[in-house]
Amino acid sequence: MRKLFVLCAAATMAFPSVLSADMAPRDVVFGELGQVPTPLTDVPGDAEAGFTAATTRGIGNCVACHVAKGWEDKPFPGNVGPELTGIANVYDEAQLRGILVNSKKSFPGTVMPAFYNLDDIIRHGEAYTGKAAKSLDVTIMTAQQVEDIVALLKTFTEPLPK
């Protein structure tokens, strides 16, 4: 029994994210304007991981629709969505999180995917491959990936170019 306790304690210290509590997609509570004030996980977002998620085709793929300072070297930056440079000066953390979770709550006519939602969405397939999602209970991004991209977007404080 003692060995089991020591093993569990060691795992807790070595892998804290394994024991993190992610909010289930259907438990997310939106404010009147689509904001989500409560983080989706108890592990703080990591801006560096957010950059990877935002610029990787099989994860967030934000770069397919948006441009931002620092993304100039990414292939095929998009111009469908607004420029993200300076976005932290426009929206607070709760608003950014809400837009990522389900942008239609903030902008009803948007074509932006709902990244952490299971209802009323068009499925983009398995990791943007065009193949059907294996399950209807799978979000495009994980709760942690949403929090990581929120952390990244909070660093976008440089004013928009005029």
**Mean pLDDT for each 10-residue chunk of the chain (162 residues)?**
43 43 93 97 97 90 90 79 94 97 94 87 59 69 97 90 60
Q: Would you state the pLDDT for residue 136?
A: 65
Q: Would you state the pLDDT for residue 15?
A: 40
Q: Residue 80 CA to chain centroid, in angstroms?
A: 18
Q: Would you state the pLDDT for residue 137?
A: 72
**Domain parsing of the chain, residue ranges:** 23-153
Q: Would you state the pLDDT for residue 32?
A: 96
Q: CA-to-CA distance for 1 and 7, rounded, in angstroms? A: 10
Query: What is the value of pTM for the model shown?
Result: 0.79
SS (H, E, C) the chain: CHHHHHHHHHHHHHCHHHHCCCCCHHHCCCCCCCCCCCCCCCCCCCHHHHHHHHHCCCCCCHHHCCCCCCCCCCCCCCCCCCCCCCHHHCCCHHHHHHHHHHHHHCCCCCCCCCCCCCCCCCCCCHHHCCCCCCCCCCCCCCHHHHHHHHHHHCCCCCCCCC
Q: Would you state the pLDDT for residue 45?
A: 97
Q: Would you state the pLDDT for residue 116?
A: 93
Q: CA-to-CA distance for 84 and 62, rounded, in angstroms? A: 10
Helices 143-153 and 93-102, packing angle to 10 deg: 130
Q: Would you state the pLDDT for residue 104?
A: 93
What is 23-153's CATH number?
A: 1.10.760.10
